[in-house]
Structure 1
Amino acid sequence: MYIPEKLRYNVQHYFGEEGENWLSRLPQIIKQCEEHWNIVVGDPYSLSVNYVAPVVWKEQNREAVLKLSIPNEQYLQELEAITLLQEGSMASLLDYHRELGAMLLEKIIPGEALATIEDDEKGCFIASEVGKQLWIPVPVSMHVNPTNTREDELRDIVHKHPNGIGPIDYQTLEGAKETFTLLCKTSADLWVLHGDFHPYNILFSNKLGWCAIDPKGGIGEREYDLIQYILNKLPEDDAALESIIIRRMNSFTTQLSLRKDRLIGWGFCHSVLATVWTCKEDGDYDKSFYKGMRVFQQLWRETRGGHQ
């Protein structure tokens, strides 16, 4: 079986030996899924760190989507998140196989991504409406990771990189860590979050209207869940990029009655972490995320009266 190079690189980069072992077993896992559900698996979609492909589910006489992940703690969190968020604007989980790290999901038809909408203000309005239906108050008992696990991740990065990492200097890493700590300590309005809420994960369904797919899960403030959306599909021009970030923030805070200072703070510390995730050994990194980080960093300084 051909494994796309992007999938191979990402899985190896993020999961190391565990990822290598999973990739070697992937053909057998797909075969087991076909036998378990009596499905025919088609060619995969564009892949990141999961294997996702359309399927024909023979017994149900319907199309669906097969998503395969390494069956680790992250998979279990995603499984719980999609289960909890089923009542909102979310593609349905049809079935799952925990040992195989497999989910059988509703296929969204026609599946047009919100990222294809050229009117940015309209895109923000649609995303806000999806978010209103999607986010739910935190239940009494759940295992989805709270936002402060990202704080722990960044603290580990700061410890391991005393000279900074990629284009990010140590002072910025330290400032982002302190910001994470401050915001986590002062968080009050907590919700179950999507965890990867961006315009490529919001699709149009003939049945549901605009809906979300591929939740990663999380517990935190809604402001935090919007940062990945704001960082996506940004122009290359610096002035235009800053203008769009500010316009998106204004749109979300107005439509969802959110706090702009919290949105800016989460924007700074998460954009640092998001940029770090893209840093490669050859020195390459996501330039758009980095530029977005610089905008949020300056806005956070202004919000804090000139301090990081």
Structure 2
Amino acid sequence: MSVLHDFGPSIPAAFRELVQGRPAEPAISGDDWLAHLPAQVAELADEWDLVADGRVWHGVCAVVIPCHRGNEPVVLKVSWPHEEARLEHLALQAWAGQGAVRLIAADPARWAMLLEPLVHDRNLDAPELLEACEVIGGLMRRLDRPATPQFTRLSHELDRWIPLCQNGSPLVPRRLTEQAASLLADLRDGCDGRLIHQDLHFQNVLAAEREPWLAIDPKPLSGEWAFAVAPVLWNRWDEASAAYNVRTHLRLRLGVVSEAAGIDEDRALAWSFVRMVTNAIWETQERAPDKDALSRWITIAKAMTD
């Protein structure tokens, strides 16, 4: 019997730990979703005529199952229901495999997609850092296109972030939160309209057969690409923290990505600053704040200031 019809034991233990105990989002708890996942995978396998043929792997919010459909190799991705993944299929459909993984089929009601197979264990953590930054900037340029009305607008997010920064947090320097609130008001003009991948970092770019590198897991937004540079700064963090001058190191990353993408470096700098400050405030609101993460957000925010 295919693993797709007896999937429960194949759910990676590490993925179970990530999902168990999650609150209902939007209408099902993590435990209930995991309990229903095996039946859902079996249903999708029947409807899409899938046979599993590889080891199950996972990210933070989805399981990915290598399969074949007839003679065609494919992967089945089933995501934990969350807002950032709600329109992932529409973004991949819009990109049509140009710079991103190719979408073959989608079942939005079950948060499932059928995708082309990529080399899941080869990402941009391996290449030299600045080369990887150039690749990401080049992908931003290729993915750039107008956003359709279905996608959340970046300006809408600002309506939440400005008061967040105005209220601040005792654990985040007041000068940073005040500067972030001011910058957000200035950045509103012209911040909507492009379909962007707001989580385009080194682990979200995988090697492929038809192209050297393709983007995955878009978390799409109607925004501007300058907003999307920030994840390049907080990933591959060991290399940044080991640098002789962290500020110079991070500014170099930002500059390389901005030049390769053809975006305004000053706006990328401003957006990166405010994203770090909002990340820091949100971290302090966690039940058990991660002190290392909080320190990282504040360090990068300070590196983005003159």
Partner of 1:281: 287
Deviation at 1:171, TM superposition (A): 5.7
CA contact (8 A) 1:272 1:290 kept: no
1:114 to 109, 124, 127: 124
Distance change (3 Å), C-alpha of 1:55 and 1:87: closer
Give the Cα–Cα distance (whole angstroms) in 2 for the partners of residues 49 and 63 of structure 1: 23
- Return 175-184 or 120-129, whichever deviates more: 175-184
Paired AA for residue 216 in structure 1: K
Q: Is the partner of 2:125 in helix, strand or coil?
A: helix
- Return 15-24 or 247-256, whichever deviates more: 15-24
User: Does residue 1:243 correspond to 2:238, yes or no?
Assistant: no
Instruction: Map Cα deviations across residues 164-217 of structure 1 (whole Å, 9 max, x no partner).
Output: 27x435664454344323212x22674210121001111221212221111110
Paired AA for residue 217 in structure 2: D
2:195 to 192, 199, 204: 192
Give the Cα–Cα distance (whole angstroms) in 1 for the partners of residues 23 and 212 of structure 2: 34
Deviation at 1:218, TM superposition (A): 0.8
Deviation at 1:89, TM superposition (A): 0.7
Partner of 1:31: 42
Give the Cα–Cα distance (whole angstroms) in 2 for the partners of residues 285 and 11 of structure 1: 23
Distance change (3 Å), C-alpha of 1:292 and 1:251: farther
Deviation at 1:18, TM superposition (A): 2.8
Partner of 1:93: 103
User: Does residue 1:123 correspond to 2:132, yes or no?
Assistant: yes
Q: How does 1:246-265 map to 2 (within 5 A)?
A: 246-265=251-270
Give the Cα–Cα distance (whole angstroms) in 1 for the partners of residues 163 and 28 of structure 2: 20
Q: How does 1:208-223 map to 2 (within 5 A)?
A: 208-223=211-226
2:204 to 192, 201, 204: 201
1:180 to 180, 184, 206: 184
Deviation at 1:15, TM superposition (A): 5.0
How many pairs were matched up?
Answer: 291
Give the Cα–Cα distance (whole angstroms) in 2 for the partners of residues 156 and 7 of structure 1: 35
Give the Cα–Cα distance (whole angstroms) in 2 for the partners of residues 200 and 29 of structure 1: 27
CA contact (8 A) 1:201 1:212 kept: yes
Q: Is the partner of 2:40 in helix, strand or coil?
A: helix
Give the Cα–Cα distance (whole angstroms) in 2 for the partners of residues 240 and 123 of structure 1: 20
User: Does residue 1:47 correspond to 2:59, yes or no?
Assistant: yes
Partner of 2:275: 270
Partner of 1:306: none
CA contact (8 A) 1:278 1:286 kept: no
Distance change (3 Å), C-alpha of 1:23 and 1:240: farther
Partner of 2:3: none
CA contact (8 A) 1:136 1:191 kept: yes
Instruction: Map Cα deviations across residues 279-301 of structure 1 (whole Å, 9 max, x no partner).
Output: 642332553x743543334533x
Distance change (3 Å), C-alpha of 1:116 and 1:263: same
Partner of 1:291: 296
Paired AA for residue 45 in structure 1: W
Instruction: Map Cα deviations across residues 25-72 of structure 1 (whole Å, 9 max, x no partner).
Output: 22221121122212234543242022x22322233x222221112456
CA contact (8 A) 2:251 2:303 kept: no
Unaligned 5+ residue runs, structure 1?
Answer: 303-308
Deviation at 1:73, TM superposition (A): 4.9
Distance change (3 Å), C-alpha of 1:158 and 1:183: closer
Give the Cα–Cα distance (whole angstroms) in 1 for the partners of residues 139 and 211 of structure 2: 11
Compute the RMSD of aligned alpha carbons.
3.0
Distance change (3 Å), C-alpha of 1:102 and 1:6: closer
Paired AA for residue 266 in structure 1: W
The runs of 4+ residues in structure 1 deviating greater than 6 Å are none
Paired AA for residue 9 in structure 1: L
CA contact (8 A) 1:67 1:104 kept: yes
Q: Is the partner of 1:137 in helix, strand or coil?
A: coil
Q: How does 1:58-77 map to 2 (within 5 A)?
A: 58-59=69-70, 61-71=71-81, 73-77=83-87
